[in-house]
A and B are shown apart, each in its own frame.
Chain A
Amino acid sequence: MIKKLRYGGQIAHDNVVPRVGSHARQNAISNLPRFRKGQLKIQEMAFVLVGIVVLVALVLLFFVAFQSMEANKNAAYYREARAITMLEMIASLPELRCSSSFSTTSESVCLDYDKVIAFNSSEEVQNNYDTLWDNSWVSKIEIEEVYVNSSVRKGKTYTIYSKESEGNVKSYATYAALCTDEPSGLICKIAKIRATINMP
């Protein structure tokens, strides 16, 4: 009676039962009929190739995930850098900055209090500029009056733009002069420009 045993996915006769160890395996293989030995090698090779492909795919997947993590980090850094540049430039936007009449020489870098009030009091005015803020990932811009002794008096906060933010946000701030052109002369306060940025 011929007993059949499985060996390496192959069917072998019981007279070539494989034993543990490479020497035994060599013997077992050498005792196989010639065509079965070849088949076994092809199958082993196919198995190794499939294994390599799966391995490469997994590594590639891991690599892509790693790269996208890096890209996210770079995007966050880029937004941060853009936010800092933007803060410096908000006070010079024609819609917010002081006009030439505020200064005897050229246009001064300060916020026009009346323009800030215009933005704060009108949602329509705020929404007119949403493309500028949306495309700069801004969810909120506020101007806050700052007093030297802030514990005694809390300054008013004016909203330039506000949109509901989703997810991760970060705020950046800088200082600027907030001025009104009165008949008696220029009156300025210290203000904080605060921008809230949507982070990736």
Chain B
Amino acid sequence: MLKKRGVIEFSWIFALIVGAIILFLAFYFIGTKFTEKNILKSIQTEQSLDIIFNPFSSFGSLGATSSKVILLRNSEKINFSCDSNGLGFNSILVSTEAVLKPRLVYYKYIFTENFSQGKDFQIISKPFSMPWRVADFIYFIPRNINYCFIGFNDIKDEFGDSGTGLNISNFQFKDSRNQCNEPSIKVCRSGCDINVNNGVVTKTSGTTYYVDDATMYAAIFSDPTIYNCNLKRLGKRIEYQTKVYDEKVASILSRCSDTFGLSSLRTNAGALYYERISRAIGDILIALKASSDIINDQNRRAQCKLF
């Protein structure tokens, strides 16, 4: 290797440089091939799930119930959880992602079961108003799970294959339980897998309470823990939005003499955020709806509208 003492031969220098280049290229191609495959898979999954991952993405028309089908390249296991601290977040863990780290989704309210597996997912977005449009609910349903609604004509109008319906393919609408195609989760007033009656949704995983269509669908399609957690998050969001509307009321007073009773809405929204027991959450939800109806009425009669 040494020509004279301490002098390196040219052939060695050349071999080192060429060796380094060959090694680098080998690492580069092997590395990129491996990472590319994983990244591509992650990106494809991520792009498909952008609707739920990205707090600024939306689909369908503004202020209307919309639906979309997400098609993934492979069957994925997706775990959902919820954190109600402050405005909170939904946590989503996709099993095939290159980095197994849950995604924290802020400002979105995803109603689903704790665990979903499948290649195709049905996503339905529905605005939630209390009394103004607070947020859009997202119902995340694997398409391999069929729901059979028995005796719900209003749901049929919204999600069925009628002219105005969203034509959700894994939803069936029947008059009796015997007519449901198997396997399916049966939803009816009583005696089914999911019972929906008079503001209460009962299923094996627990009992939840609703006040309008948006919360009723949320209670049907989601796990009770996720449902209650998202409601608590919404309580905080309504409380914060009330502060914005408080300031707006002050602006309105400079042009009109309309008044709005926002304080009871704020109190109930705050209470919803702090409540832990499902039954009590239901009671507060009813009180929140009552104060929301009062403001809605005041707004309808106002010369300068608040919302």
Contacts and interface: CB of A to CB of B under 8 A. Distances in A.
Q: Are A and B bound to each other?
A: yes
Interface of A: 8, 20, 47, 51-52, 55-56, 58-60, 62-63, 66-67, 82, 85-86, 88-90, 92, 94-95, 99-102, 106-107, 109, 112, 114-115, 117-119, 121-122, 124-125, 128-129, 131-132, 135-136, 181-183
Contacts of A183: 255-256, 303-304
Contacts of A8: 2
Contact of B251 (A60, A117, A129, A135): A117
B62 A136 contact: no
6 contacts: A59-B23, A66-B28, A82-B54, A90-B56, A92-B58, A101-B299
Contacts of B243: 118, 122, 124-125, 128
Given A92-B58, A181-B305, A106 B63 contact: yes
Interface stretch (B129-137, B200-208, B217-225): B129-137
Nearest to B16: A55
Given A95-B241, A114-B247, A181 B304 contact: yes
Contacts of A63: 24, 27-28, 31
B57 interface: yes
Contacts of A118: 243-248, 251
Contacts of A109: 62
A26 to B, nearest CB: 15
B191 interface: no
Given A94-B134, A100-B63, A182-B255, A89 B104 contact: no
Contacts of B55: 132, 135-136
Given A114-B247, A129-B240, A106 B3 contact: no
Given A131-B89, A132-B87, 15 more contacts: A55-B23, A59-B20, A63-B28, A85-B54, A89-B56, A94-B132, A94-B135, A100-B307, A114-B251, A117-B247, A118-B245, A119-B244, A125-B247, A128-B87, A132-B106
A38 B134 CA distance: 83
A67 B24 CA distance: 12
Interface of B: 1-4, 16, 19-20, 23-24, 27-28, 31, 35, 54-58, 61-64, 86-87, 89, 104, 106-107, 132-135, 240-241, 243-248, 251-252, 255-256, 299, 303-307
A128 B251 contact: no
Main secondary structure on B side of the interface with A: mixed
A89 B256 contact: no
A125 B251 CA distance: 15
A94 B31 contact: no
A95 B54 CA distance: 17
Contacts of B35: 67
Contacts of B307: 99-101
A85 B57 contact: yes
Contact of B64 (A52, A106, A128, A136): A106
A20 B2 CA distance: 10
Given A89-B58, A106-B64, A125-B247, A135 B305 contact: no
A47 to B, nearest CB: 8
A63 B107 CA distance: 39
A58 B19 CA distance: 12
A93 to B, nearest CB: 8
Contacts of A85: 54, 56-57
A131 B236 CA distance: 13
Contacts of B20: 55, 58-59
Per CB-CB distance, the 8 closest pairs between chain A and chain B, nearest first, are A118-B247, A101-B305, A99-B307, A89-B56, A107-B63, A114-B248, A114-B251, A59-B23
Nearest to B107: A132
B300 to A, nearest CB: 9
A25 B15 CA distance: 21
A97 to B, nearest CB: 8
Contacts of A102: 305
A118 B247 CA distance: 5
Contacts of B252: 114
Nearest to B39: A74
B62 A92 contact: yes
B25 to A, nearest CB: 10
A107 B58 CA distance: 15
A102 B104 CA distance: 34
A51 B62 CA distance: 65
